[in-house]
Chains A and B, each alone.
Chain A
Amino acid sequence: MRILLSLAALTTCAFSQIQADFYNRQEIPLPPGEVMEVSSIALMPGKKVAVATRRGDLWICSGAYDENLSKVTWVKFAHGLHEPLGMFYKGTSLYLTQRPDFSRLEDTDGDGKADVFETINSEWGINGDYHEYAFGTAPDKNGDVWITLCLTGSFTADSNWRGWALRITPDGKMIPTCSGIRSPGGMGFNAEGEVFYSDNQGPWNGSSSVKWLKPGSFQGNPMGNKFHQLANLPTPPEPADKSRILTERKKFPTFGPPAVVLPHAKVGQSPSGIVADMSGGKFGPWNHQLYVGEQTHSQVQRICLEKVNGLYQGAVFHFLEGSEAGIIPVQLDQKEGVLFVGGSNRGWGSRGTKTFTFERVKWTGKTPFEMKTMTAHSDGFTLNFTEPLDTAAATNPASYAMSAWTYIYQSEYGSPEVDQSTPLITAAKISGDKKSVRLTINGLVQGHVHHLTAPGLISASGAKLWHPDAFYTLNEIPK
C-alpha cells in the first residue's frame, strides 16, 4: 500500500512534456506564388535539397539548413514531370520515380536547369487512372531501385504490374519482385538495408501498415496476381476471403504479414514516406528506428523493428505532430540530423489545414522521457526507456494496461478490430540501470496487435511519458 500511495502522490505532481521542448519544427519558406505540393525530397551535395511536386515541378533549395530560414533561395530545375513520388541524387544526376517511368535528370550545360530527361525504364502499365501512382526508393545495397505500383483506382489491376513491387537494376532492367500490394504511400529502407513500404487501409488491408518487401513475397492483396504470367513467375497465393492474416499466411509460405500494423484511426489513417534513423543519435536516441509520415493526421510516427523467426515485427509509437499539411515524403539528413518533411492535402484531407508544406525538424538536444523500444519474449515484452524510471511506478503491474486484437482479412474495405483479448500483466521487473522494464504477461496472442499503454509511468525525475502508447504487432512469439 505504501508503494501505491507514493505512486498516487507522484502522479499528481508528475509533469507533462511537449514537442517544442524536444523538436523544433519550422516551415521552410517557398518561392512566392508557387503551388508546391511536395511529393519527393532528395538531399544533394553542398546542403542543397531537391524538392519535386505533384504538379511536376522540381526545385532546388539552398539555405534549408541555415539558422535563418528567411534567406532560403530556390531555383527551378525542371518542370513537366508526372507526379514524381521518389527521388534521389547520385553522381551528377537526380533520379525520379514518376507515374510513367523511372528517369534520370541532368543539367549538362551548367545553366542550372535539367536538359537531359533520360527514361531508364517504363515497362509497367498506366491507363490514365489517377490512382495508378508509382513510388520509388533510392538504390538498395545492390544498386537496384525499388518501385511499388498502386492498384488501378486502388481496387483493381487494369494495367500491367499494378499491385507489384519491381526492381530496376543499374542497367535499366525491370525485375518484378513482390506481389500483393494495394495502395502504397511511401517506401524506404530499414537499418539493415531491407526495403519497406507503407500500405493503406482498404481491400485486404484491415488497417494501414508498414510491410517488408522480402523478394518473392506476397503482401496480401491478390488483385494483381494475374501478372505473374507476364514474367513466368510462380503463382502468388489466392487467399480466402473473410479470414485472418495469420490463418492465410500459414497456408502460403510466401505470404509476408505486415511488419508493423498502424492501427486505423488510433495511430493514423494514411501512412506515407519511410526513413531509417542512421544518424547515430543526431536526431534523438532513436538510432536505427524508422520514421513514417502520416498524411491524414499530419504526423510522423516512430517504429522499432526486430526480426523473430525470420519475420520483421515491432512497435509503432506516436512521435511528431502538427505539420501544416498532409505529410507525403520524409527525408533525414543522417550527417546533420535534420528531418525534412513535405506534403499536401489535395484530394485527401489532413489535420494540417494548409494545402501544401515543406518543413524541417531539428532535435533540440533535450531527450524526452519516452519508451524507446518494445521487444517481444515468449512470455511478455521488454520496454526500454530513454530515462531512468521511478521504481515504484515501474514495478507496479497496475501502471500498465494491455489489450490485443486483429483485423478481418477480407476483400471488403478495411475491417473493424476483432478477436479482442486482454493479456494480463502479472509482473514488471526493473533493470539495474532503471531504464528497462521486463513485463511478464499471460495471454500473448500470435498475429495480434498488442496495445500497451502506461499513462501512470513516471521517470525518476517526475516526468510523464511524452507518448504513453505502443502498438506491437506480434507476428511471431519468440521461443
Chain B
Amino acid sequence: MSAARLILLLLISLLISRLHGQDGGQLYTLYCSACHAPDGKGATGGAFPPLAGSEWVSGDAKRAIGIVLKGLHGPAEISGKTYNLEMPPQGAVLGDDLIAAILTYVNSSWGNSGMNVTPELVKNTRAEMASRSTPWTAPEILKIYPLPEKKPALENLISRVYKGQWSQLPEFDKIQAENVEEEHDGILSTTLSGLADNFGIVWEGDFIAREDGEYEFVLDADDGARLLLKGEVVSNVQGIGPMNGGRTSKGKISLTKGKHPIRVEYYELNGNEGISLGWKGPGITEWQWLSDQTGQPQQAWPSIPLSPKDGKAVIYRNFIEGTTPRSIAFGFPGGLNLAYSADHLAPTLIWIGEFMNAGRHWTDRGTGNQAPSGDNLVKLANSRSLPDSARFKGYTLDPAGNPTFKIQIADQILSDNWKPGPDQTLLRTLLLNGGTSTLEIPLGDPAITGSATATLTPGTPATITYRLK
C-alpha cells in the first residue's frame, strides 16, 4: 500500500469514527464540562453541582435523561448541598444517540456505577416528556423519579424514653425507661416519644463507618444532648436553650471501617424540642444527617455584609425588597440607611442598624430581591407622585459620600439631598431650581417627619428631619 493510500484510509476512518461511534467522553467535554468540570466534581470549586458520586445520576436513568432534555430550574439539593440551578435544556440541541453517549459516560466515570443509557431509552423518555415546555424543578422530577433511598449510617438503633424534669443530663442508666422501641429507619427523632415537655431519650445502636479515617459530628438540641462513640464523649450540648446554631457542638473521632457503638443522650425541659446530629467523614464533605431535623438551615449564599467605610456612606444598587428595581441604597455612618427609587423619584425605605447583605446578588447569578439587613424598616413611598414628564437625572456625592438626587421636572430641577444628622436622624434638604411653579412633595410617614408634605418654592431650600426609632 502506498503512503498516500494509507493516509487517505486513515482520514476516511477518522471521518467515519467521528460520524458514527459517539464518544461520550468527548461529548461530555464539549457540552457539559464547563459547568460540571472535567472531573465531574462541579466547576469553580463547587459553584456548579457535581455529577461524580451524585445520587441524581443513580437509580432510574430517566431522571437524568429528563434533566438533560428539559433542563432543571430552581433550588435542588445535590450531594448534601443546595444549588440554585439554571441548567439549560439540551433536548433540542442533542440527539438521542448523543445524550445516550454522554449519560453512559457520566454513569461509568468517576466511581459512578449507573446503567448504560441507550438511544432507545432517550427516545422513549423524549416522547413521554414531549408535552413539557418548561424546565423541570427538583420537586417535580423527584416526584416521578425519586432519588434512591440512602442506606442509613445507624443500624440496630434502639430508643429509650424517660420522664423527668431536667435542666442538665441525668444519669439515665439509673432511671427506669418508660418505653423502649427499635428504630428501623436509623433516624433520631424526638417526635416519636409522643411527649412535649419534661422527658429524655437515649438512643443506642451502631454507627457504620464506610472507611478508615477521621469522622466529624455536629450536634444541636433543644434543650440538651450528648454524643458518645465507643464510650467516648464526642460532642455535648449543655443547659437549656433553643436549636438556633448558637449552642451547636462539634467533635472529631478516628474510626476504622465497620460498626462502632453509638449512644446519644437527650433531654427536654419545656417549650420547643428537637435534636439534630450530622456527620462528615473521609470523602464526605457535606453534613450527612442522622436525625429528622438538619441543624441550621443552609443559607444558599455566603454572607457579604456591606457597611460604611472610612466614615463615608456605602452605596448598593441592586434589587431590594420593599422598593423598586431601579433603587439606590445608601448606608450612612452611624447605622442610618436609605433606599431611593429612581422609578418613583422618591425615597422609599429608611431603616437603622445593619445596611445590606450583598451575598444573594454577588454570588451565583444574583436572583431575587434582598431585604434590608437592619431593623425598624419604614416605608416612605409606594408609588410615584411627580408628573409623568419628570425624569431621574442621577445623583452627586459630597466628599462624605452623601447623595443629592436630581430630578428634572419640565424647566425645573429638584435636588434631594440626604445626610445623617444627630440622634439617629436623617436630614433631607429639598431645593427646587428654575421656573416659577411651586411643588408639593409627599414626605412619607408623618409620624417620623412631623408633616405629610412639604411645599417648595423655587430657590428656597427646605430641610426635613427623619427621626428613626
Partners in one complex: yes
Distance of A135 Cα from B251 Cα, bound (Å): 51
Chain B stretch 30-49: residues in CB contact (< 8 A) with chain A: 30-31, 33-37, 43-44, 47-48
Q: Which of B90, B362, B368, B395 contacts A55 (CB 8 A)?
A: B362
Q: Is the CB of B317 within 8 A of A415?
A: no
Instruction: Flag whether B230 is at the interface (Cβ < 8 A).
Output: no
Q: How far is the CB of B396 from chain A (nearest CB, A)?
A: 5
Distance of A1 Cα from B2 Cα, bound (Å): 9
Instruction: Flag whether B399 is at the interface (Cβ < 8 A).
Output: yes
Q: Is the CB of A416 within 8 A of B30?
A: no
Q: How far is the CB of B443 from chain A (nearest CB, A)?
A: 23
Instruction: Flag whether B101 is at the interface (Cβ < 8 A).
Output: no
A414: B residues at CB distance < 8 A: 88-90, 92-93
Interface pick from A123-131, A209-217, A429-437, A440-448: A123-131
Instruction: Flag whether A195 is at the interface (Cβ < 8 A).
Output: no
Q: A346-B363, A350-B34 are in contact. Are A80 and B314 (CB under 8 A)?
A: yes
Q: How far is the CB of A44 from chain B (nearest CB, A)?
A: 21
Instruction: Flag whether B182 is at the interface (Cβ < 8 A).
Output: no
Q: Which of B15, B31, B36, B365 contacts A265 (CB 8 A)?
A: B31
Q: How far is the CB of B341 from chain A (nearest CB, A)?
A: 11
Instruction: Flag whether B397 is at the interface (Cβ < 8 A).
Output: yes
Q: Which of B7, B89, B93, B317 contacts A416 (CB 8 A)?
A: B93
Chain B stretch 390-431: residues in CB contact (< 8 A) with chain A: 391-399, 406
Q: A80-B317, A415-B93 are in contact. Are A128 and B4 (CB under 8 A)?
A: no
Q: How far is the CB of B30 from chain A (nearest CB, A)?
A: 4
Total A-B Cβ pairs within 8 A = 147
Q: Which of A35, A118, A269, A296 contacts B393 (CB 8 A)?
A: A118
Q: Is the CB of B4 within 8 A of A8?
A: yes
Q: Is the CB of A347 within 8 A of B366?
A: yes
**Size bracket of the B interface:** 35 or more
Instruction: Flag whether B447 is at the interface (Cβ < 8 A).
Output: no
Distance of A103 Cα from B47 Cα, bound (Å): 32
Q: How far is the CB of A32 from chain B (nearest CB, A)?
A: 16
Distance of A117 Cα from B43 Cα, bound (Å): 37
Distance of A348 Cα from B369 Cα, bound (Å): 20
Instruction: Flag whether A264 is at the interface (Cβ < 8 A).
Output: yes
Instruction: Flag whether B95 is at the interface (Cβ < 8 A).
Output: yes
Chain A stretch 54-113: residues in CB contact (< 8 A) with chain B: 54-56, 79-83, 98, 100-101, 103-104, 109, 111
B392: A residues at CB distance < 8 A: 101, 119, 122
Among A1, A56, A114, A297, find the residue whose CB has the most chain B CB atoms closer than 10 A: A56
Q: How far is the CB of A109 from chain B (nearest CB, A)?
A: 7
Interface pick from B192-200, B252-260, B318-326, B454-462: B318-326
A177: B residues at CB distance < 8 A: none
A115: B residues at CB distance < 8 A: 396-399
Q: How far is the CB of A460 from chain B (nearest CB, A)?
A: 20
Instruction: Flag whether B166 is at the interface (Cβ < 8 A).
Output: no
B35-66 near A? 1/0 per residue, CB < 8 Å: 11100000110011000000000000000000
Instruction: Flag whether A413 is at the interface (Cβ < 8 A).
Output: yes
B27's nearest neighbour on chain A, judged by CB, is A265
Chain B stretch 300-342: residues in CB contact (< 8 A) with chain A: 314-319, 325-326, 328, 342
B326: A residues at CB distance < 8 A: 100-101, 122, 126
Main secondary structure of the interface of A (DSSP, over half): loop
Q: Is the CB of B328 within 8 A of A408?
A: no
Q: Is the CB of A413 within 8 A of B88?
A: yes
**Size bracket of the A interface:** 35 or more
Q: Which of A5, A114, A117, A415 contacts B2 (CB 8 A)?
A: A5
B312's nearest neighbour on chain A, judged by CB, is A113
Q: Which of A82, A350, A415, A456 contacts B318 (CB 8 A)?
A: A82
Instruction: Flag whether A410 is at the interface (Cβ < 8 A).
Output: yes
Instruction: Flag whether B437 is at the interface (Cβ < 8 A).
Output: no
Q: Is the CB of A345 within 8 A of B43?
A: yes
Distance of A79 Cα from B397 Cα, bound (Å): 12
Instruction: Flag whether B3 is at the interface (Cβ < 8 A).
Output: yes
A172's nearest neighbour on chain B, judged by CB, is B391
Instruction: Flag whether B463 is at the interface (Cβ < 8 A).
Output: no
Distance of A9 Cα from B2 Cα, bound (Å): 12
B315's nearest neighbour on chain A, judged by CB, is A80
Q: Is the CB of A80 within 8 A of B328?
A: yes
Instruction: Flag whether B367 is at the interface (Cβ < 8 A).
Output: yes
B394: A residues at CB distance < 8 A: 103-104, 116-119
B358: A residues at CB distance < 8 A: 55
Instruction: Flag whether A353 is at the interface (Cβ < 8 A).
Output: yes
Instruction: Flag whether A201 is at the interface (Cβ < 8 A).
Output: yes
Q: How far is the CB of B412 from chain A (nearest CB, A)?
A: 17
Instruction: Flag whether B91 is at the interface (Cβ < 8 A).
Output: yes
B37: A residues at CB distance < 8 A: 349
Instruction: Flag whether A467 is at the interface (Cβ < 8 A).
Output: no
Q: How far is the CB of B122 from chain A (nearest CB, A)?
A: 13
Q: Is the CB of A130 within 8 A of B92?
A: no
Q: Which of B34, B47, B342, B365 contacts A296 (CB 8 A)?
A: B34
Chain A stretch 1-54: residues in CB contact (< 8 A) with chain B: 1, 4-5, 7-9, 11, 35, 54
B94: A residues at CB distance < 8 A: 416
Q: How far is the CB of B382 from chain A (nearest CB, A)?
A: 16
Instruction: Flag whether B8 is at the interface (Cβ < 8 A).
Output: yes
Q: Is the CB of B43 within 8 A of A349?
A: yes
Q: Which of A11, A346, A413, A416 contacts B364 (CB 8 A)?
A: A346
B315: A residues at CB distance < 8 A: 79-80
Chain B stretch 1-35: residues in CB contact (< 8 A) with chain A: 2-4, 6-8, 11, 15, 30-31, 33-35
Instruction: Flag whether B71 is at the interface (Cβ < 8 A).
Output: yes
Distance of A415 Cα from B4 Cα, bound (Å): 38
Q: A5-B2, A80-B314, A100-B342 are in contact. Are A416 and B88 (CB under 8 A)?
A: no
B2: A residues at CB distance < 8 A: 1, 4-5
A128: B residues at CB distance < 8 A: 319, 325, 368-369
Q: Which of A81, A114, A408 contacts B317 (CB 8 A)?
A: A81
Instruction: Flag whether A202 is at the interface (Cβ < 8 A).
Output: yes
B363: A residues at CB distance < 8 A: 346
Q: Is the CB of B325 within 8 A of A100?
A: yes
Q: Is the CB of B366 within 8 A of A130?
A: yes
Distance of A69 Cα from B304 Cα, bound (Å): 30
A5: B residues at CB distance < 8 A: 2-4
Q: How far is the CB of A97 from chain B (nearest CB, A)?
A: 14
A9: B residues at CB distance < 8 A: 3
Instruction: Flag whether A362 is at the interface (Cβ < 8 A).
Output: no
A264: B residues at CB distance < 8 A: 93
A416: B residues at CB distance < 8 A: 92-95
A54: B residues at CB distance < 8 A: 362
Q: Is the CB of B365 within 8 A of A8?
A: no
Q: How far is the CB of A56 from chain B (nearest CB, A)?
A: 6
Q: How far is the CB of B136 from chain A (nearest CB, A)?
A: 13
Distance of A315 Cα from B7 Cα, bound (Å): 28
A287-301 near B? 1/0 per residue, CB < 8 Å: 000000000110000
Instruction: Flag whether A398 is at the interface (Cβ < 8 A).
Output: yes
Distance of A267 Cα from B190 Cα, bound (Å): 57
Q: A80-B315, A116-B396 are in contact. Are A4 and B4 (CB under 8 A)?
A: yes
Distance of A151 Cα from B4 Cα, bound (Å): 54
A347's nearest neighbour on chain B, judged by CB, is B365
Q: A35-B362, A349-B43 are in contact. Are A413 and B393 (CB under 8 A)?
A: no
A-B pairs, top 5 by smallest CB distance, nearest first, are A80-B315, A349-B35, A4-B4, A347-B365, A414-B93
30 A-B pairs whose Cβ atoms sit less than 8 Å apart in the complex: A4-B2, A4-B3, A8-B4, A8-B6, A8-B7, A54-B362, A55-B358, A55-B362, A80-B317, A80-B328, A100-B342, A115-B396, A116-B396, A118-B394, A119-B391, A122-B342, A128-B325, A131-B365, A269-B34, A345-B47, A348-B35, A348-B365, A349-B47, A350-B43, A401-B11, A408-B92, A413-B88, A413-B92, A416-B92, A416-B93
Q: Apart from A8-B6, A346-B44, A414-B89, list 16 A-B contacts with CB within 8 A.
A: A8-B7, A35-B362, A55-B358, A55-B362, A80-B315, A98-B317, A119-B342, A119-B394, A122-B392, A128-B319, A130-B365, A264-B93, A265-B30, A349-B44, A349-B48, A410-B92
